Structure 1
Amino acid sequence: MKLKILVLTNLFPHPWDPLRGTFNRQQFGRLGREHEVDVLTAVDFRERMRRPAGEFSAENVNTDHFTFYYPPRFGRALHALCWLLCLLWQRGRKLRAANYDCVLASWAYPDGVAAGWVARYLGIPYVMKVHGSDLNVQAAFALRRPQISHALRHARAVVTVSKALADKATEMGTDAARVHVIYNGVDAALFAPGPRADARARLGLSIDEPLLLYVGNLKETKGCVDLVNALPSVLDHHPDARVAFVGSGACRAALLHRAQALGCADRLMLPGAVAHDALGDWFRAASVLCLPSHNEGVPNVVLEAMACGVPVVATRVGGIPEVVPAYAGILVPPHDPERLAAALLDALDAPWQGQAIAAHARGYCWDDNIVRLDAILQAAATRSTASMGAAA
């Protein structure tokens, strides 16, 4: 059955952040080949104020956005209500007329909580997809946790990107039978092994220097500063090594300041955010991908780096241990630059088998992901239709 699906999320490209939520762009675009998918993206009002609108692309889905206004310095427990009111104020009439079969909410708070209310307002079921810090961090706050728990328990199904998140959802009272682990996929057309020398030549990088690569938002909880703090120990053994931080974010200035204090600022590269379809060369150019996050779901950059045959040094948090076997990387505790430095040195000296790493990553396939997500959405909508028929 072809469904009409409303996706509600903040994790999707929009005119003020064209590179946002590339994993959702990939997933929803593939879902849109089978169903009619409308993606309605919440845009933080501060984001609209900070930068001009740009161009973005999203295939096979209909896109729209609304502006999310909220009190920025207090009242985080009210953000789901603010999210709901902004949505209904700006797009309520359009939603009522659309005749959707179900809602798919991507991100638990405030998006998923508000989406649950929207679904009940529209009289349709909702499926909630959680990613990482929306449960690992947001649910730790006393006034937000009951809202998230209620939304999870009343969703027709909950989709998680890792077993660790599935366990957390059930700990919060969700029926385990309604929780589904679906790992994100990797686009094999973009991420596959290739000659390192060729990738470095295209990026204008030295062929011989060890290159530690970080890809993602530059923020403290991603462990960016931990990586800079680990760098001097790496340079003691590999003085020609460099670290490339591919991404943008509030931590950029802090990284430079800390590197200057440690005397290694000249070994940092900060090329900024890079389009998703241009990341393949950065992975293939890298000696090691390093992601020292303090909390995670299953970051796609880890899967994409491994798909290029690149070993990973990351923290043992969230779902990362579920997808990084010992022959593909080294895992360390978070908040520990000394252990991180030792792991990076071991990784630079180890005889990794790139083809075996890439073969492992090929098991994370978008086609399989969509088949499973499609079945969950079909079941949610079919059960809703059956319930309405019985009630009539």
Structure 2
Amino acid sequence: MTLMPRPLIPKPTCLTADLMRILWLSENYPPRRGGMAQACDRIVGNLRQAGLQIDIVFFTNSGHSFKSVQQTNGRLLVVPAGDSPGHTLNCLYNYLSDPMHRAEYSHIVAFGGYLPVMALPVFKAWLNSRAITMLRGNDFDLGVFSAQRRALLADAVNISETTCVLSSEAQQKVALLFPKAKLKLVANGVDSDSWRCESCDYEAAENWKKQNPAENRLTIGIIGQLKEKKGVIFFLENVLQAGLHQSFRFLLIGDVEPQVQEWLDTKTDRLCVEQLPFLDRFELLRWYPVCDYIALPSHYDGMPNVLLEAGALAIPVIAARVGGISEVLPETQQQLTFHPGNADGCREALWHAARLNSEERHKIGESFAGHVARHFNSQRETKGYLKIFNAL
């Protein structure tokens, strides 16, 4: 069968929302866990509310057949990703080109991951669409050090009309490696109006603290996918090295990587650690107020949702100055930060955190909340992406 090219979609100076239909490829979307799935859901949801038609292709490791679900301003197409990427993507193209559910796409987005980045150059040509690569965290940080993935990244970035990054650090690194890339920085955002603790959340937090007394320790929360790349072992080792294990209690919430759990199991006699399983985002609202600090000691990272969530709730953060983290934290928190992997700097930040009294922590937290509300709100994020789509 001869593959007939689709007629080129005309490119007026500015496409209005009613003329746009976007094919959005992602390996991360609810019910998958993690920050990328949460970010994908937030960004797509807000763009749809702004009037864009977006069909999401969600590559999943479960199931054996395609599933299409109609949603407001678009569809969700759940695609089982088997062992053969080529087979998966050929079957997806067959589905998209079937006259029964064929659509003309003005834009195609690769929202990080392996299959979306692999598919983007081919689907851009076959669907005659403008292409946008959205780099997230590991796509670049780990991908550039794999020969195969680096080649896929280069292909996708170089054919994209726009490549979106989360931080100026990522923008600089991508530009140096891929000089032809057309880069735009759009930071993550948080909706401070909906993301807030109610009185019942604060009450639940206080009750838990009464039932689990910290014995004059400050509580540091570490939330999310607790992997080695997140610097969990590095951070806790430096707590011990600094002799601060009597000053802090640690609340770990999320899926713990086996090697991290093995390490934790050997330190139960020295570290005060409370562990909770992975919780849905809004379930965390009763646990954030338990924490005096949130820790983000990542060796490399993009712009973690936890960072903005903590900021919106006025909780100070102890963090590595990496990726978008250093751009989000205001000047008032600089003494709580350190260069990624720098043990001396990490211990200095911990000592500083231990010395701050409750009034000082409150003042830092309130400054952080105002900074996030002004500069990292979800409305600003949505406007940034709308501007990109409208300009292509």
| 2:158 is aligned with 1:126 | no
CA contact (8 A) 1:309 1:358 kept: yes
Pick closer, same or farther for the CA change 1:308–1:378 going to 2, 3 Å.
same
CA contact (8 A) 1:108 1:135 kept: no
Matches within 5 A, 1:69-84: 69-70=82-83, 81=86, 84=89
Pick closer, same or farther for the CA change 1:324–1:83 going to 2, 3 Å.
farther
* SS of equivalent residue, structure 1 residue 158: strand
| 2:369 is aligned with 1:358 | yes
Pick closer, same or farther for the CA change 1:146–1:255 going to 2, 3 Å.
closer
CA contact (8 A) 2:27 2:115 kept: no
1:217 aligns with one of 221, 225, 231: 225
User: What runs of 5+ residues in structure 2 fail to find an aligned partner?
Assistant: 1-15
| 2:388 is aligned with 1:376 | yes
- Counterpart of 2:224, as a letter, is G
Partners of 1:39 and 1:95 in 2: CA distance: 17
Deviating more after overlay: 355-364 vs 335-344: 335-344
- The normalised TM-score by structure 1 is 0.81
| 2:346 is aligned with 1:346 | no
User: What runs of 5+ residues in structure 1 fail to find an aligned partner?
Assistant: 50-55, 72-78, 381-392
Partners of 1:183 and 1:200 in 2: CA distance: 30
1:62 aligns with one of 65, 71, 75: 75
User: Alpha-carbon deviations, 1:273-296, whole Å to 9, x = none?
Assistant: 111122233222211111111111
Pick closer, same or farther for the CA change 1:194–1:332 going to 2, 3 Å.
farther
Q: Which residue of 2 aligns with 1:243?
A: 250
Structure 1 residue 237: deviation in Å? 4.0
User: Alpha-carbon deviations, 1:163-190, whole Å to 9, x = none?
Assistant: 11112222233546x3110101112134
2:259 aligns with one of 235, 254, 259: 254
Partners of 1:216 and 1:95 in 2: CA distance: 41
CA contact (8 A) 2:35 2:304 kept: no
Q: Which residue of 2 aligns with 1:301?
A: 306
User: Alpha-carbon deviations, 1:308-367, whole Å to 9, x = none?
Assistant: 111111112222211113313522233345643442231132223121111011121111
2:58 aligns with one of 31, 35, 41: 41
Pick closer, same or farther for the CA change 1:341–1:378 going to 2, 3 Å.
same
Pick closer, same or farther for the CA change 1:69–1:302 going to 2, 3 Å.
same
* SS of equivalent residue, structure 2 residue 314: coil
Identity of aligned residues (%): 21
User: Alpha-carbon deviations, 1:109-150, whole Å to 9, x = none?
Assistant: 342231231121111111111112211110222232222112
Deviating more after overlay: 297-306 vs 188-197: 188-197
- Counterpart of 1:217, as a letter, is Q
| 2:15 is aligned with 1:4 | no
* SS of equivalent residue, structure 1 residue 100: coil
CA contact (8 A) 1:332 1:340 kept: yes
User: Alpha-carbon deviations, 1:245-279, whole Å to 9, x = none?
Assistant: 11114x1x433432332344772222111111222
Structure 1 residue 85: deviation in Å? 3.5
CA contact (8 A) 1:43 1:65 kept: yes
Q: Which residue of 1 aligns with 2:5?
A: none
- Counterpart of 1:12, as a letter, is Y
- Counterpart of 2:171, as a letter, is A
- Give the RMSD, CA atoms, in angstroms: 3.1
Partners of 1:278 and 1:185 in 2: CA distance: 19
- Counterpart of 1:10, as a letter, is E
Pick closer, same or farther for the CA change 1:307–1:144 going to 2, 3 Å.
same
